[in-house]
């Protein structure tokens, strides 16, 4: 097996004579090697002509470096830091991220073609969510400031989707023979047919997966052998140092996607935090005592203005909307 480092340098024109010879000998050794090499070369040229903005170079570099390090360790070599300049890194990263190199062999035509033909869906950073339907009929609901990438057509054995940032709620079309697999930061999430939420808008590189229905397998992208099975009501939490499962106690955890809010004898301070997350607004109580009021109520698909108007009427408050989507609540009659 030719090393990824040599292949990347060969295709980008950075290889020396010995490295060129090693790659060409590998390609000429077996007809299957030659076929894989020619297909890879063709798609390398496609990648070279694409805009590099869709490639996360830092993530790709980590994946490339880790893969080369593992290969060197298997070969009994001491891993070292590989000095690739920016242009070579971009192409090497593209091979890893867009083509998906495999340890056991090279790529298939179908896999490469699917990776190149990718759809990217984004939502604005300030406000607004969006629903999209994937090629298999799966619904993805993106919260604000989110980005998802998926192929125009699911042609492989797995339906692979990448969450580049943000929070996404999925209602997955059931296809037991073709698992639905999500990559989000370091997390790998595999399902057959279920509804669940993936949140990467958390500090410390944390990823949270909340299951509403069905079952989900949560693991690390680089260690799929160690995993958790999440069932309805479970929340899986993955950090750089841990992987654990807890019961979700927040009834409004996915209210941003469902539009359903339920409060039972809850302090307004906690209610305001839920509304901030659900509607992406700021809420201030002019009088600290307001935060201690308790409310029991339910809302379905109501705008934030209506929700706050109900709360204000219940407790005889005034609500004012100021700049930057900030709402201020104060006792009635107080200016």
Give the pair of three-digit tokens for residue 67: 């893969």
Q: Are strands 223-230 and 195-199 parallel, antiparallel or unpaired?
A: unpaired
Q: Distance of CA 26 to CAs 21, 22, 30, 87, 161, Å?
A: 9, 6, 8, 25, 33
Q: Are strands 326-331 and 130-133 parallel, antiparallel or unpaired?
A: unpaired
Do residues 18 and 105 share a domain?
Answer: yes
Compute how many other C-beta atoms are within 10 angstroms of the C-beta atom of residue 276.
14
Q: For the chain, give the percent of residues with pLDDT over 90.
A: 50
**Does residue 113 have a pLDDT over 50?**
no
Do residues 231 and 124 share a domain?
Answer: yes
Taking the C-alpha atoms of residue 172 and residue 255, their distance in angstroms, rounded to an integer, is 18
Domain that holds residue 265: 259-331
**β-pair partners for 284:** 328
**Does residue 2 have a pLDDT over 70?**
no
The answer to whether the predicted template modeling score (pTM) of the entire model surpasses 0.75 is no
Rg, the chain, Cα only = 25
Q: 254 lies in a domain?
A: no
DSSP code at position 290: G
Q: 185 lies in a domain?
A: yes
Average pLDDT of the segment spanning 78-102:
45
**Cβ atoms of 206 and 184 closer than 8 Å:** no
Q: 104 lies in a domain?
A: yes
**Cβ atoms of 234 and 219 closer than 8 Å:** no
Taking the C-alpha atoms of residue 272 and residue 252, their distance in angstroms, rounded to an integer, is 12
Q: What is the CATH number of the domain that holds 173?
A: 2.60.120.1440
Do residues 123 and 229 share a domain?
Answer: yes
Q: 253 lies in a domain?
A: no
* 24 vs 181 pLDDT, higher one: 181
* First-residue to last-residue Cα distance in the chain: 75
Do residues 130 and 174 share a domain?
Answer: yes
Q: What is the pLDDT at residue 299?
A: 95
By CB neighbour count within 10 A (0-12 exposed, 13-18 middle, 19+ buried), where does 142 fall? buried
The model's pLDDT over 114-147, given as tens digits with 9 standing for 90+, comes to 444 788 999 988 777 899 999 999 999 999 999 9
Q: How confident is the model at residue 59 (pLDDT cuts 50, 70, 90)?
A: low
> Nearest-CA neighbor of 106 among 14, 7, 221?
7
Do residues 168 and 218 share a domain?
Answer: yes
Q: What is the pLDDT at residue 109?
A: 35
Mean pLDDT, the chain, rounded, equals: 79
Q: 122 lies in a domain?
A: yes
The model's pLDDT over 157-215, given as tens digits with 9 standing for 90+, comes to 889 999 999 999 999 998 888 899 999 989 999 997 799 999 999 988 899 999 999 99
Sequence-ordered list of residues with C-beta below 8 angstroms from that of 149, at least 6 positions apart, any chain: 54, 118, 119, 120, 121, 161, 162, 164
> Nearest-CA neighbor of 20 among 29, 36, 8, 33?
8
């Amino acid at each position: 097996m030719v090393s990824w480092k040599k292949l990347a340098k060969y295709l980008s024109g950075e290889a020396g004579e010995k490295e060129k010879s090693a790659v060409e000998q590998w390609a000429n050794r077996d007809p299957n090697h030659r076929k894989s090499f020619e297909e890879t070369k063709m798609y390398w040229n496609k990648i070279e002509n694409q805009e590099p903005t869709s490639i996360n170079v830092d993530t790709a570099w980590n994946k490339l470096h880790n893969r080369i390090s593992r290969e060197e360790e298997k070969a009994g070599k001491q891993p070292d830091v590989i000095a690739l300049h920016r242009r070579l890194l971009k192409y090497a990263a593209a091979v890893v991220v867009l083509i998906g190199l495999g340890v056991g062999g090279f790529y298939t035509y179908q896999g490469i073609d699917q990776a190149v033909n990718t759809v990217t869906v984004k939502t604005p950073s300030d406000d607004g969510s969006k629903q999209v339907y994937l090629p298999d009929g799966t619904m993805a609901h993106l919260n604000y400031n989110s980005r998802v990438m998926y192929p125009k057509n699911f042609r492989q054995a797995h339906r692979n989707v990448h969450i580049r940032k943000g929070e996404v709620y999925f209602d997955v079309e059931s296809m037991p023979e073709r698992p639905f697999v999500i990559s989000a930061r370091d997390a790998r999430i595999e399902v057959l047919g279920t509804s669940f939420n993936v949140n990467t808008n958390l500090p410390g590189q944390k990823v949270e997966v909340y299951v509403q229905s069905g079952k989900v397998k949560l693991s690390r992208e680089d260690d799929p052998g160690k995993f958790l099975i999440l069932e309805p009501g479970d929340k899986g939490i993955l950090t750089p140092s841990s992987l654990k499962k807890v019961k979700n106690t927040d009834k409004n955890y996915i209210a941003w996607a469902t539009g359903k809010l339920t409060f039972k004898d809850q302090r307004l301070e906690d209610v305001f935090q839920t509304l901030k997350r659900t509607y992406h607004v700021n809420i201030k109580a002019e009088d600290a005592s307001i935060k201690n009021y308790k409310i029991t109520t339910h809302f379905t698909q109501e705008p934030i203005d209506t929700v706050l108007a109900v709360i204000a009427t219940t407790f005889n408050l005034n609500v004012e909307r100021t700049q930057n989507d900030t709402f201020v609540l104060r006792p009635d009659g107080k200016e």
